[in-house]
Amino acid sequence: MEKQHQEWINGKRMGLHIELHTIHSWSFNSSLEVENQVKKNKVGLGAGLGVGFGVLSCGLGLLWFIYWRKRGDGENEGLGDDVFTDDEFEKGTGPRRFTCRELTHATNNFDEGGKLGEGGFGGVYKGFLSESSTEIAVKRVSKGSKQGRKEYISEVKIISRLRHRNLVQLIGWCHAQGEFLLVYEYMPNGSLDTHLFGGKIMLTWPVRDKIALGLASALLYLHEEWEQCVVHRDIKSSNIMLDANFNAKLGDFGLARLVDHELGSQTTVLAGTMGYLAPECVTTGRASKESDVYSFGVVCLEIACGRKPVDPREEQSKVRLVEWVWNLYGKGQILEAVDKGLSMEFDEQQMERLMVVGLWCCHPDPIIRPSIKQVINVLNSEALLPELPSKFPVPMYSLPPVNMSIFSDISLGHTGSTKDRTQCSCSSCSTYLSNTSEGSAKALLNWGVDQAYNHA
């Protein structure tokens, strides 16, 4: 066309003839390229649908997984950094996991008529497992209690690994549907305090002696014989259970802590029950094997005297059990503190051993206190009784500046309270703790007694 067009121009200019070419039609075939494009579109559409379907499937799968975890494993809700896995507890032949339905049925829907007791963070109910014909005690943590949940975790992690004849056996646990439940072997004779102070069966001297030795054996296992040192931190008569034969079994490991033997035995958070707390625990906020021994000594005196650690109803000289017995010891009249309910039906030498050992364990200076192994040797007449000061010794050190954070877990066991480990929030207690920066341990003990008066 370009050639003909040029010829037309030249012809016009030069006056020559003109050739006219007419194009009647113009056709071309591009079917190959269109077919390729259609194929590409089909492939792209298929790939897009495949990716979209895959993403949708993954999303639905994730939603289903989340729903399933919330439905089946909602028991971990609210545990924060302390979340644990069931695999930790399902190893070996130890305690097993129960369902909520099983324990609800076993306790008759947690019938109040079957309630065995009430603690600071929940109640304990009697139950019956029909498939094994076993009586059980189920501890139900109060809903919404963060401290109760922490103690639940601590108890399951620690006591599920311990095996000793003088420790309450943990049978199983359940954490589901907002419930936190611990299942123990049932103790038909209840706790020691109900017999010493609650008007139940009067314990004879042989039974009391057996209970003291059983508790000492449990502590020896915890402090020295197990793979790690277990500091119980809340040894008291209400945590000592009695089986059908009145064998002592130490329970309630909610405040217990594990410490490596070679790293020492101190914990750094103050916890326990006032009256059983060693002086150094209150002043430094640190618990140890020695503070457990102090609490054991208080229990020994309770067993011998049938009295609580602090009793505001008594005359001033008898309010504090340890000081009262120590004063009688200094006068050579220690047996005058023996429980009158025994009617002098006891072995005097054995009784004296128990009481002197109790005082030895309650020495204000933790360095002077015996180890639990020494305690057992003396109680078994395999070692001589120690010579103690004739007057109650007062530690000659001052309180360090008070760090209020260490009192977050303190348990003030006010006389008459059914909740053993509830923090006191009254104005007088708060005022003392906020204003005290230094002073003697004696003054702090006096303050504890004053609060017992106020809350009795």
> What are 174-194's pLDDT values in tens digits?
988 888 899 999 999 999 999
Residue 439 has pLDDT above 60, yes or no: no
Indicate if the pLDDT at residue 81 is higher than 60: no
Q: Is the pLDDT of residue 407 over 80?
A: no
In percent, the amount of the chain with pLDDT more than 90 equals 42
The pLDDT confidence band at residue 358, using thresholds 50, 70 and 90, is very high
Domain covering 82-185, topology: Phosphorylase Kinase; domain 1 (3.30.200)
More confident residue, 92 or 17: 17
Long-range contacts of 424-429 (CB under 8 A, 24+ apart): 424/451, 424/455, 426/451, 426/454, 426/455, 428/454
**What is the per-residue pLDDT for 257?**
75
Q: What is the average per-residue pLDDT within 222-233?
A: 90
Considering only 208-212, 306-310, 424-428, which range has the smallest mean pLDDT?
Answer: 424-428
Residue 415 has pLDDT above 80, yes or no: no
Indicate if 192-455 has the same CATH topology as 82-185: no
Higher model confidence: residue 452 or residue 354?
354
Multiple choice CATH, 192-455, 3.40.50.1000, 1.20.120.10, 3.90.1150.10, 1.10.510.10:
1.10.510.10
- In degrees to the nearest 10, what's the CA dihedral of 155, 161, 166, 169? 70
Q: How far is CA 398 from CA 368, 370, 394, 395, 445, in A?
A: 18, 24, 11, 9, 13
Is 289 marked as a binding-site residue? no
Q: Residue 33 pLDDT more than 50?
A: yes
**Res 221: pLDDT:** 96
- Say yes or no to pLDDT of 440 above 50: no
Q: Is residue 451's pLDDT more than 70?
A: no
Name which residue leads in pLDDT, 82 or 147: 147
Pair 281, 231: CB distance under 8 Å: no
Higher pLDDT among residues 48 and 378, named by residue: 378
Q: What is the mean pLDDT of residues 28-33?
A: 54
Which residues neighbour 265 within 8 Å (Cβ) at sequence distance 6 or greater?
Answer: 223, 229, 231, 259, 288, 289, 290
Domain extents for the chain? 82-185, 192-455
Query: Mean of the pLDDT values across residues 433-446?
Result: 41
pLDDT of 409 over the 80 cut: no
More confident residue, 156 or 327: 327
Lowest mean pLDDT among 22-31, 272-281, 441-450: 441-450
Q: What is the mean pLDDT of residues 360-369?
A: 96
Active site residues: 234
Distance of alpha carbon 218 from alpha carbon 165, whole angstroms? 8
Q: Tell me the one-letter amino acid at 269.
A: V
355 contacts 300 by C-beta, under 8 angstroms: yes
Could you tell me the strand order of the sheet in which 122-129 lies?
96-97, 170-176, 179-185, 134-141, 122-129, 115-119
| Residue 390 or 93, more confident | 390
